[in-house]
Amino acid sequence: MYLIIGLGNPGKQYDQTRHNLGFRVLDLLAGSEPWLTKKGFNEFIKLDDILLAKPQMFMNKSGIAVKDIFNRFDDPQLIVIHDELDLPLGSMKVQKNVSSAGHNGIQSIIDELRTKDFIRIRLGINNPNSKFLIPNSDEYVLQKFTDEEEQIVKEVLEKAKDAVEVLQTQGLEIAQSKFNG
């Protein structure tokens, strides 16, 4: 069983923000399948041996919702998709068993599951060509992308969708060789 978590913040006001790339990748994976809600913890879709889930708690509390759904399955393969301030806009890294690197949503998952041994698809949101120097990262991650940035974002969202499919069919090492660069 693959448990694929997309991180973001719930609510329409956050839909297109930098912090919600995980939700956007899951929407691509889901296609037209309807999202179901479980008592405010997760929106989810079950497809064969895959469960897509979007924690419906704010980013810093994501681990609570992830633990709730993770514990319902016998040793699921966890893949978490999220934004990454430390990577350039449009870049992507597939990694496993690494620290949170200061990402509060990931740290919440690590704290709740008491492990960092899961796969992460990190999607870069920092535009090195931007004049914005990110003095307050909390404000920055809640901003929407510019029209120019959105074109780059759409490409990386498709790449992330492809990375999930490669992880499932060909494994971590091949996904890393294809998508890390």
Q: Running along the chain, 181 residues long, what does each successive block of 10 average in pLDDT? A: 95 93 95 82 84 93 94 94 93 96 94 97 80 66 92 97 96 97 67
Per-residue pLDDT at 135: 54
Residue 181 lies in a domain: no
- Boundaries of domain holding 53: 2-173
Is 103 part of the annotated catalytic residue set? Answer: no
User: pLDDT at position 131, please?
Assistant: 54
Q: What is the pLDDT of residue 29?
A: 94
Domain membership of residue 91 (yes or no) is yes
CATH code, domain with 126: 3.40.50.1470
pLDDT score, position 134: 55
| Residue 12 covered by a domain | yes
pLDDT of residue 165: 95
Is 137 domain-assigned?
A: yes
In a domain, 180, yes or no: no
On whether the CB atoms of residues 57 and 65 are closer than 8 A, the answer is yes
Residue 179 lies in a domain: no
Write down the catalytic residue from 19, 24, 93, 122: 19
Q: Is residue 178 part of a domain?
A: no
* Total domains in the fold of the chain: 1
